[in-house]
């Protein structure tokens, strides 16, 4: 929900590169100027030093919104619905992956959205929100490149009355 606070697992997909996100902001550690902002600092262009995992279908993932310019990127949280190189289609709100209807138990509100069969590019994911009627997601702004993925959402910590583990699938 809006304004919830969560814990994100940033290491289950790979060993993060500490320099990667520094290129996203002209400042770090409050108002200290970022010395590598907008520079071609070695290794600052790769998200993981060593990659050993991939997001799985129906996991809840935190990612950098792909349409924001570097320096103003916002974190989004959505469910992985389509994986790289799959063909996704929506008919009256029902998701089809490679021609087969996807069994979903997580979406709170179904919609009637239609989308022609579209192949998900290699290295990209198709994300959808659980509240489909009110969700801006891949149906509107397209695929999420793997390098935009920050990590898996694992724990809701705020509001304290909603403290809970976020299921993996």
Domain spans, the chain: 5-165
The dihedral sign for the CA sequence 11, 12, 15, 19: negative
CB atoms within 10 A of CB 87: 13
pLDDT of residue 138: 94
CB atoms within 10 A of CB 165: 10
pLDDT of residue 59: 94
pLDDT band at 127 (very low <50, low <70, confident <90, very high): very high
pLDDT of residue 65: 86
Query: E strands, 10-114, where?
Result: 14-16, 27-28, 32-33, 48-51, 60-64, 75-82, 87-91, 94-97, 100-101
pTM of the model: 0.80
Residue 88 has pLDDT above 80, yes or no: yes
Q: Which CATH architecture has domain 5-165?
A: Ribbon (2.10)
pLDDT of residue 87: 97
Q: Higher confidence at residue 51 or residue 19?
A: 51
pLDDT of residue 32: 61
Q: Higher confidence at residue 148 or residue 28?
A: 148
């Amino acid at each position: 929900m809006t304004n919830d606070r969560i814990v994100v697992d940033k290491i289950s997909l790979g060993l993060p590169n500490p320099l990667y996100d520094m290129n996203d902001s002209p400042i770090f550690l409050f108002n200290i100027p970022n010395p590598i902002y907008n520079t071609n600092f070695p290794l600052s262009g790769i998200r993981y030093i060593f990659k050993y995992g991939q997001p799985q279908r129906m996991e809840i993932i935190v990612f950098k919104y792909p349409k924001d310019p570097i320096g103003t990127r916002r974190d989004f949280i959505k469910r992985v619905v389509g994986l790289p190189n799959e063909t996704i289609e929506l008919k009256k709100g029902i998701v089809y992956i490679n021609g087969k209807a996807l069994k979903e138990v997580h979406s709170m509100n179904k919609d009637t959205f239609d989308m022609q069969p579209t192949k998900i590019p290699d290295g990209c994911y198709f994300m959808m929100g659980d509240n489909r009627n009110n969700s801006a997601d891949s149906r509107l702004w397209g695929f999420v490149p793997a390098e935009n993925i920050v990590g898996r959402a694992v724990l809701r910590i705020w509001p304290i009355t909603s403290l809970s583990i976020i299921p993996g699938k």
